Amino acid sequence: MLELVAQPLTAEAFAPFGDVIDSRTSDHFPINAGRTQRHHDLAQVETLGENARPLISIFVSQPVEVPLVLPLLERHPLGSQAFVPMHEERFIVVVAPAGESIEPDSVRAFVTDGRQGVNYAPSTWHAIQSVLDRVGEFLVVDRGGDGNNCEEYAINIRVTLA
Protein backbone atom coordinates (compact mmCIF):
# COMPACT_ATOMS: atom_id res chain seq x y z
CA MET A 1 0.00 0.00 0.00
CA LEU A 2 1.25 3.47 -0.90
CA GLU A 3 1.67 5.61 2.26
CA LEU A 4 1.31 9.40 1.90
CA VAL A 5 1.40 12.28 4.36
CA ALA A 6 -0.79 15.16 3.18
CA GLN A 7 1.19 18.40 3.12
CA PRO A 8 -0.29 21.92 3.23
CA LEU A 9 -1.62 22.91 -0.19
CA THR A 10 0.37 25.57 -2.06
CA ALA A 11 -0.02 26.86 -5.61
CA GLU A 12 3.60 26.00 -6.41
CA ALA A 13 3.40 22.39 -5.23
CA PHE A 14 0.03 21.82 -6.93
CA ALA A 15 0.94 23.48 -10.28
CA PRO A 16 1.71 20.19 -12.13
CA PHE A 17 -1.85 19.02 -11.43
CA GLY A 18 -3.91 22.21 -11.99
CA ASP A 19 -4.76 25.41 -10.15
CA VAL A 20 -5.23 26.39 -6.50
CA ILE A 21 -8.24 28.68 -6.17
CA ASP A 22 -7.64 31.16 -3.33
CA SER A 23 -8.85 34.75 -3.18
CA ARG A 24 -6.25 35.59 -0.53
CA THR A 25 -3.38 35.22 -3.00
CA SER A 26 -4.98 36.39 -6.26
CA ASP A 27 -5.07 39.70 -8.08
CA HIS A 28 -8.36 41.55 -7.87
CA PHE A 29 -10.06 44.75 -8.93
CA PRO A 30 -13.12 46.68 -7.75
CA ILE A 31 -16.55 46.32 -9.40
CA ASN A 32 -20.15 47.24 -8.45
CA ALA A 33 -19.33 50.86 -7.61
CA GLY A 34 -16.38 49.73 -5.49
CA ARG A 35 -18.43 47.53 -3.15
CA THR A 36 -17.09 44.24 -4.55
CA GLN A 37 -13.58 42.94 -5.16
CA ARG A 38 -13.52 40.68 -8.24
CA HIS A 39 -10.90 37.93 -8.04
CA HIS A 40 -10.88 37.27 -11.77
CA ASP A 41 -9.97 34.20 -13.82
CA LEU A 42 -8.63 32.03 -10.97
CA ALA A 43 -8.60 28.74 -12.91
CA GLN A 44 -8.67 27.56 -16.48
CA VAL A 45 -11.97 25.77 -17.19
CA GLU A 46 -11.40 23.27 -20.01
CA THR A 47 -14.08 21.35 -21.90
CA LEU A 48 -12.76 19.08 -24.67
CA GLY A 49 -14.72 17.21 -27.34
CA GLU A 50 -17.92 17.70 -29.28
CA ASN A 51 -21.07 18.96 -27.56
CA ALA A 52 -19.04 19.90 -24.47
CA ARG A 53 -20.23 22.57 -22.07
CA PRO A 54 -19.27 23.75 -18.60
CA LEU A 55 -21.43 22.60 -15.68
CA ILE A 56 -21.85 24.32 -12.32
CA SER A 57 -22.97 21.98 -9.53
CA ILE A 58 -23.02 21.76 -5.74
CA PHE A 59 -21.67 18.59 -4.13
CA VAL A 60 -22.57 17.75 -0.52
CA SER A 61 -19.91 15.38 0.84
CA GLN A 62 -19.77 13.31 4.01
CA PRO A 63 -16.55 13.58 6.04
CA VAL A 64 -13.88 10.89 5.78
CA GLU A 65 -11.84 9.31 8.56
CA VAL A 66 -8.08 9.75 8.83
CA PRO A 67 -6.05 7.82 7.98
CA LEU A 68 -7.85 7.97 4.63
CA VAL A 69 -7.71 4.67 2.73
CA LEU A 70 -8.28 4.91 -1.02
CA PRO A 71 -8.75 1.93 -3.36
CA LEU A 72 -8.53 4.02 -6.55
CA LEU A 73 -7.91 7.35 -8.23
CA GLU A 74 -10.04 8.75 -11.04
CA ARG A 75 -9.51 11.19 -13.90
CA HIS A 76 -11.57 13.21 -16.36
CA PRO A 77 -9.86 13.19 -19.77
CA LEU A 78 -12.35 15.53 -21.45
CA GLY A 79 -12.22 18.48 -19.10
CA SER A 80 -11.04 20.15 -15.95
CA GLN A 81 -12.85 19.79 -12.62
CA ALA A 82 -12.85 22.49 -9.92
CA PHE A 83 -13.88 22.11 -6.26
CA VAL A 84 -14.41 25.25 -4.16
CA PRO A 85 -15.52 24.89 -0.51
CA MET A 86 -18.57 27.00 0.29
CA HIS A 87 -18.19 27.12 4.09
CA GLU A 88 -14.44 26.86 4.75
CA GLU A 89 -14.38 23.05 4.66
CA ARG A 90 -10.93 21.50 4.79
CA PHE A 91 -10.36 18.56 2.45
CA ILE A 92 -7.64 16.14 1.41
CA VAL A 93 -6.38 16.29 -2.18
CA VAL A 94 -4.58 13.25 -3.60
CA VAL A 95 -3.22 13.61 -7.15
CA ALA A 96 -0.97 11.99 -9.74
CA PRO A 97 0.15 13.29 -13.14
CA ALA A 98 -1.85 12.56 -16.28
CA GLY A 99 -0.91 9.34 -18.07
CA GLU A 100 -2.24 5.89 -18.86
CA SER A 101 -0.91 4.50 -15.57
CA ILE A 102 0.13 5.85 -12.19
CA GLU A 103 3.68 5.64 -10.89
CA PRO A 104 3.46 5.36 -7.06
CA ASP A 105 6.38 7.76 -6.53
CA SER A 106 4.51 10.49 -8.46
CA VAL A 107 1.42 10.52 -6.22
CA ARG A 108 1.08 13.55 -3.93
CA ALA A 109 -1.26 14.38 -1.04
CA PHE A 110 -2.24 17.84 0.17
CA VAL A 111 -4.61 19.23 2.77
CA THR A 112 -6.40 22.52 2.19
CA ASP A 113 -6.88 25.13 4.88
CA GLY A 114 -10.61 25.46 4.24
CA ARG A 115 -10.45 28.59 2.09
CA GLN A 116 -8.60 27.01 -0.83
CA GLY A 117 -10.19 25.25 -3.78
CA VAL A 118 -8.56 23.20 -6.51
CA ASN A 119 -9.01 22.89 -10.26
CA TYR A 120 -7.79 19.54 -11.59
CA ALA A 121 -6.35 19.82 -15.11
CA PRO A 122 -7.81 17.40 -17.69
CA SER A 123 -6.59 13.80 -17.19
CA THR A 124 -5.01 14.51 -13.79
CA TRP A 125 -5.55 11.49 -11.56
CA HIS A 126 -7.22 12.43 -8.27
CA ALA A 127 -9.01 10.97 -5.27
CA ILE A 128 -12.73 11.16 -4.73
CA GLN A 129 -13.99 14.08 -2.65
CA SER A 130 -12.48 13.71 0.85
CA VAL A 131 -13.81 16.41 3.17
CA LEU A 132 -12.55 16.57 6.76
CA ASP A 133 -14.19 17.54 10.05
CA ARG A 134 -17.86 17.87 8.94
CA VAL A 135 -20.28 17.58 6.04
CA GLY A 136 -19.03 19.84 3.26
CA GLU A 137 -20.67 21.77 0.45
CA PHE A 138 -18.61 22.48 -2.65
CA LEU A 139 -19.21 24.54 -5.75
CA VAL A 140 -18.05 22.28 -8.60
CA VAL A 141 -17.28 23.40 -12.15
CA ASP A 142 -16.68 20.61 -14.64
CA ARG A 143 -17.58 19.33 -18.08
CA GLY A 144 -20.88 18.05 -19.38
CA GLY A 145 -21.61 16.64 -22.81
CA ASP A 146 -20.91 13.57 -24.91
CA GLY A 147 -18.18 11.02 -24.20
CA ASN A 148 -16.86 9.04 -21.26
CA ASN A 149 -15.29 11.60 -18.95
CA CYS A 150 -14.51 9.43 -15.93
CA GLU A 151 -11.86 6.71 -15.76
CA GLU A 152 -10.65 4.85 -12.66
CA TYR A 153 -7.28 3.34 -11.78
CA ALA A 154 -6.98 0.79 -8.95
CA ILE A 155 -4.24 1.72 -6.48
CA ASN A 156 -4.13 1.25 -2.70
CA ILE A 157 -3.24 4.47 -0.89
CA ARG A 158 -3.23 5.37 2.80
CA VAL A 159 -3.09 9.09 3.65
CA THR A 160 -2.32 10.72 6.99
CA LEU A 161 -2.05 14.40 7.87
CA ALA A 162 1.22 16.19 8.59
- The domains of the chain are located at 2-161
**Residue 19, pLDDT score:** 97
Split at pLDDT 50, 70, 90, the class of 80 is very high
Nearest CA to 129 out of 78, 60, 66, 71 is that of: 60
State whether the Cα torsion 37-40-42-43 is positive or negative.
Answer: positive
**Mean pLDDT, rounded, for 77-97:** 98
**Residue 13, pLDDT score:** 98
What is the CATH code of the structural domain delimited by 2-161? 2.60.120.480
Q: Strands (DSSP E) along the chain, which ranges?
A: 2-8, 18-21, 29-31, 36-38, 53-61, 68-75, 81-85, 92-96, 108-111, 117-120, 125-126, 136-144, 151-161
Q: ∠ at Cα 158 (7, 111), nearest 5°?
A: 25
**Residue 32, pLDDT score:** 96
**Residue 93, pLDDT score:** 98
**Mean pLDDT, rounded, for 38-58:** 95
Split at pLDDT 50, 70, 90, the class of 4 is very high
